[in-house]
């Protein structure tokens, strides 16, 4: 029989995590999340030099960006499923090795075909990483603090994005890099250097080991995991909430620099606004994580989604003043990244431990679909003649839908535990 909540350790078993959130597992998962955040945005920084160097057309450059996203979607599905068979640590280590190796291989690409295949393979590794980071952080956290651990870990993603934003600002101010390949060597080499540390120091999920040993019935099929056992409603709510909020996040990340330059800011100023957005998101995820455990997360979810809608309106209507823009960017970054942390913290509680990898992987994949459609939606709206302010205001209904779904999901989880 699959247990929904954490499984107690056997008597005398060593503790995998220290007494607080800043334990070995969370810190190592945070480190990997930073590296993933860097890798996810490395292609965008390299693109201005990469495209002319390999004689890419705009269409080919778009396909190159899409290759990574397709790989992320497939990798989340496969990586989560494999984690329920072979363990979270093993699949995470392999995933990190894959995205490190193929990011380095991207730097060696001589033509478009090779470039596409390397980025697709990189995406597979990146996609397999996040579901296992979520599961490890949740399952090796102190009792009753899994939401805070997942939020703290997830803060590494925007922190990695902030590092890339700094690189982009430097490139804009200095005229760019001599070689786009350097970016991919650095983004791929760092995870490979971290691999030995993960193999040596990262503990497997103790709760998963216990649950797997106690499960005598074997793993059910994917459809049973996702929709059986009364989980259908929570799975659908989780997927739709992820899809809607990731659409907003990736549309904003993709179009914000251009939207800001349309509002009258210079390219370095637009890059600074995006840097502030990422940094404030990372800080907010770390500070507010404890609010994602217990009944407080219901009111917290309402607050952050309403806050995100408010700051999108402020982004759309603010004057072209850099000081004002930085202040609004701080708030927008904090809100949009904490909405993501809210969903990632809620995802593990939807599924029993023994099948959690598959469930969380499916949710991450649903979010990746949103990340594909978000930039496409932005392109369509801009081509339709929508202004920068109009584009930002058009995101508010999506935020409202995502927020409503997230609040309904958390309400169901709290009622189930009552």
Digit-coded pLDDT (tens) for 22-68: 789 999 999 999 999 999 888 877 887 888 889 988 788 888 888 88
- C-alpha 2/C-alpha 196 separation (Å) is 33
Quick check: is 19 in a domain? no
Here the CATH number for the domain that contains residue 310 is 1.20.1250.20
- C-alpha 298/C-alpha 80 separation (Å) is 27
What's the distance, CA 415 to chain centroid?
27
Residue-level pLDDT at 180: 83
Q: Kindly state the greatest CA–CA separation across the chain.
A: 66
Q: How many independent structural domains does the chain possess?
A: 1
User: Looking at residues 357-368, what average pLDDT do you find?
Assistant: 95
Quick check: is 407 in a domain? yes
Quick check: is 4 in a domain? no
What's the distance, CA 363 to chain centroid?
11
- C-alpha 27/C-alpha 36 separation (Å) is 14
Helices (H), 87-155: 88-107, 112-139, 146-154
Quick check: is 15 in a domain? no
pTM: 0.88
For residue range 385-406, what is the model confidence (pLDDT) as tens digits? 888 788 889 999 999 999 999 9
Quick check: is 290 in a domain? yes
Which structural domain, as residue segments, surrounds residue 390?
A: 24-417
- pLDDT tier for residue 374 given thresholds of 50, 70 and 90: confident
For residue range 322-359, what is the model confidence (pLDDT) as tens digits? 999 999 999 999 999 999 999 999 999 999 999 999 99
Quick check: is 1 in a domain? no
For residue range 261-306, what is the model confidence (pLDDT) as tens digits? 888 888 788 878 888 998 999 999 989 988 999 888 999 999 999 9
Residue-level pLDDT at 43: 85
The answer to whether the CB of 26 falls within 8 A of the CB of 150 is no
Residue-level pLDDT at 164: 82
CA atoms within 13 A of residue 176's CA, in its CB half-sphere: 12
Structure-model confidence comparison of residues 67 and 1, the more confident one: 67
Q: DSSP for 217-256?
A: S-PPPHHHHHHTTTTHHHHHHHHHHHHHHHHHHHHHHHHH
Q: What percent of the chain shows pLDDT beyond 70?
A: 92
Give 251-260's long-range contacts (Cβ < 8 A, gap of 24+).
251/374, 251/375, 251/377, 251/378, 251/395, 252/332, 252/336, 252/374, 252/395, 253/41, 253/161, 254/374, 254/375, 254/378, 255/375, 255/378, 255/382, 255/391, 258/388, 259/388, 259/391, 259/392, 260/325, 260/388
* pLDDT for 187 beyond 50: yes
Quick check: is 182 in a domain? yes
* pLDDT for 216 beyond 70: no
- C-alpha 188/C-alpha 39 separation (Å) is 7
- C-alpha 188/C-alpha 180 separation (Å) is 13
Quick check: is 33 in a domain? yes
- C-alpha 162/C-alpha 256 separation (Å) is 14
Interior/surface letters 376-407, b for 16+ CB within 10 angstroms, e for the rest: ebbeebbeeeeebbebbbbbbebbebbbbbbb
Residue-level pLDDT at 5: 42
Structure-model confidence comparison of residues 364 and 176, the more confident one: 364
- C-alpha 406/C-alpha 345 separation (Å) is 11
């Amino acid at each position: 029989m699959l247990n929904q909540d954490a499984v107690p350790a056997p008597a005398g078993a060593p503790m995998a995590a220290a007494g607080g959130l800043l334990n070995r597992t969370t810190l190592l998962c945070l480190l990997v999340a930073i590296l993933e955040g860097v890798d996810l945005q490395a292609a965008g920084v390299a693109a201005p030099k990469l495209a002319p160097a390999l004689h890419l057309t705009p269409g080919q450059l778009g396909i190159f960006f899409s290759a990574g996203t397709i790989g992320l979607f497939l990798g989340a599905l496969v990586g989560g499923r494999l984690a329920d068979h072979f363990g979270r640590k093993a699949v995470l280590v392999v995933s990190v090795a894959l995205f490190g190796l193929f990011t380095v291989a991207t730097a060696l690409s001589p033509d478009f075909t090779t470039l596409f295949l390397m980025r697709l393979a990189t995406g597979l590794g990146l996609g397999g990483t996040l579901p296992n980071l979520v599961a490890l952080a949740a399952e090796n956290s102190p009792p009753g603090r899994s939401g805070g651990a997942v939020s703290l870990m997830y803060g590494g993603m925007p922190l990695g994005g902030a590092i890339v934003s700094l690189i982009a600002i430097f490139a804009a101010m200095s005229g760019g890099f001599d070689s786009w390949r350097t970016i991919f060597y650095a983004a791929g080499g760092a995870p490979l250097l971290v691999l030995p540390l993960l193999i040596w120091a990262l503990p497997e999920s103790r709760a998963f080991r216990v649950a797997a040993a106690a499960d005598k019935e074997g793993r059910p099929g994917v459809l049973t995991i996702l929709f059986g056992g009364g989980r259908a409603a929570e799975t659908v709510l989780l997927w739709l909430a992820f899809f809607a909020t990731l659409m907003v996040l990736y549309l904003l990340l993709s179009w914000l620099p251009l939207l800001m330059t349309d509002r009258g800011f210079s390219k370095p100023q637009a890059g600074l606004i995006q840097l502030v957005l990422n940094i404030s998101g990372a800080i907010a995820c770390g500070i507010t994580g404890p609010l994602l455990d217990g009944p407080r997360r219901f009111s917290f979810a309402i607050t952050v989604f309403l806050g995100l809608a408010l700051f999108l309106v402020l982004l759309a209507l603010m004057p072209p003043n850099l000081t004002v823009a930085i202040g609004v960017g701080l708030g927008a970054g904090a809100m949009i990244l904490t909405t993501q942390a809210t969903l990632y913290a809620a995802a593990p509680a939807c599924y029993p431990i023994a099948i959690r990898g598959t469930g969380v992987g499916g949710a991450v994949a649903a979010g990746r679909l949103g990340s594909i459609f978000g930039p496409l939606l932005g392109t369509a709206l801009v081509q339709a003649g929508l202004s920068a302010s109009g584009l930002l205001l058009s995101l508010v209904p999506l935020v409202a839908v995502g927020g409503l779904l997230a609040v309904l999901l958390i309400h169901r989880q709290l009622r189930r535990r009552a």
